[in-house]
Amino acid sequence: MVEMFKLGGVDVTKEEVLKILTKSKENDNDDEYDEEDLAENEDHIRCDNVMLESFLNGFITFNRGQQDPKPGQPQRPEMSIKSHGSVNNVVLKKLKIALALTSEEIQDILEEAGVTITKSELGALLRKEGHKNYKECGDKYARNFLKGLAIRYRS
């Protein structure tokens, strides 16, 4: 019998999780990933935005538990990749929540990956889309934030 896991609401097998987490090429250059190469590679499953968001929501719930709304307060709308312009901003915010990181800790994580960011720049990345000081999180920050997390948590 195949064992199924819930990945933030998405049913997957252990083998599928391993394929999702498998890097498709040895090269770190994102520009060299080709859709055809990904489709032909049987050892890799492409993680789409729905799966990514489901995983991040499950990660938040796993780390801090289910958050029930307080009596008398309206339900807060959930930040969603579908309704948000930048996937990187949502990933940054959700990982900040899941890992209970402060802004200073995020700055330190980026610093470990070799990127310096000011507190005001970071605040702009964490703002709600539509705010006058909102800034889209570029691939450089997202990639180096994930790299810094790997450095920090694997040490």
Provide the pLDDT confidence category of residue 59 given band limits of 50, 70 and 90.
Answer: confident
Provide the pLDDT confidence category of residue 31 given band limits of 50, 70 and 90.
Answer: very low
Q: What local confidence, expressed as pLDDT, does residue 4 receive?
A: 73
Does the pLDDT of residue 38 top 50, yes or no? no
For the record, the structure tokens of 89 come out as: 């901003």
pTM for the whole thing? 0.72
Does the pLDDT of residue 99 top 90, yes or no? yes
Let me know: does 37 contact 25? Beta carbons within 8 Å: yes
- The Cα 144–Cα 155 span in angstroms is 16
Q: What local confidence, expressed as pLDDT, does residue 19 receive?
A: 74
- CA 18 to the chain's CA centroid: 17
For the record, the structure tokens of 94 come out as: 């959700």
User: For a pLDDT cut of 90, what percent of the chain falls above it?
Assistant: 39
Let me know: does 20 contact 43? Beta carbons within 8 Å: no
| Average pLDDT of the chain to the nearest whole number | 79
Query: Which residue is listed with tokens 């289910």?
Result: 66
Q: What local confidence, expressed as pLDDT, does residue 86 receive?
A: 83
pLDDT: which is higher, 50 or 34: 50
Of 91, 98, 101, 96, the residue nearest 64 (C-alpha):
98
